[in-house]
Amino acid sequence: MGCFGFLKFMMFVFNGIIFLAGAVILGVGIWVKVDSGSILGFLGMTENAPAELSQVLNVGYLLIAVGALLIIIGFLGCCGAIRESKCMLLLFFIIILLVFLVEVAGAVVILVFRPLAEDVFRRFGTAAVASIKKDYGKNPDVTGLWDTTMSTLKCCGIYNSSNFVDSPYYVDNNNQYPPPCCPDANTKKPCNQTVIDNFTAIPGCFVKFTQLIDDNTVVIIAVALGIAALELCAMTVSMILYCKIGSRSA
């Protein structure tokens, strides 16, 4: 297998993986949109929610868009390499280039407008606390999602246990907090304010989530750089194939 054949094979395999990943993401995005009621209730969003938070809810649309884009990229890359189509390879190169430029622009925007992102997260926290006080202990979907989140992240509420005060669960259970809010999960005692005051307070889920991101900053940056490197390699290979096909057909 010559160099040209090897590049064609690698182009086909690489873009085949991209195509399959896009199909999976597209499927997940459609599923999220079909079953978005639980997510909306968990976030406590209403029609009066701030515009920034409304955008956060459109995860399904984002997944659908990303999945569709990956499917198109994978299709163009696979077919362009196998069929030796200069048109497909050129379209593949242009799309990857545009994605790369958008990613660079997005990174710059995040760095420049970081205070705006912090304000969005603050509003999200306020809306989530309102959701807890209104639905936790009454709405099974909201209650189940919060129980899973708190058990997984080892946290309590958005900021602390006080977020559950006056919630349906708190009122119906004689001023008790959810079990994840108590430091000792094996205790038989009710999780009330006395128990919480006698132990080190469990951090809120917002703090744990922020800490999780901070602890994995290096990994996130490494992944981003790896994706950028793959995009540069894909553009390089597509242009090499494009030029080789052009020279062979001349």
For residue range 77-90, list pLDDT tens digits in order: 888 888 888 899 99
Burial of 167 (0-12, 13-18, 19+ CB in 10 A): buried
On the question of pLDDT at 118 being above 80, the answer is no
On the question of pLDDT at 135 being above 90, the answer is no
Structure tokens at 152: 């997984």
Rounded to an integer, what distance in angstroms lies between the CA atom of residue 67 and that of residue 32? 13
Read off the pLDDT band of 52 (50, 70, 90).
Answer: very low
3-state DSSP helix/strand/coil % of the chain, to nearest 5? 75, 0, 25
Rounded to an integer, what distance in angstroms lies between the CA atom of residue 145 and that of residue 45? 15
Listed in sequence order, the residues at least 6 apart from 182 whose beta carbon sits closer than 8 Å to its beta carbon are 189, 191, 195, 196, 199, 202
- Which of 26-35, 151-160, 185-194 is the least confident region? 185-194
Read off the pLDDT band of 4 (50, 70, 90).
Answer: confident
pLDDT tens for residues 136-173? 988 887 888 888 888 888 889 888 888 999 899 998 98
Listed in sequence order, the residues at least 6 apart from 223 whose beta carbon sits closer than 8 Å to its beta carbon are none
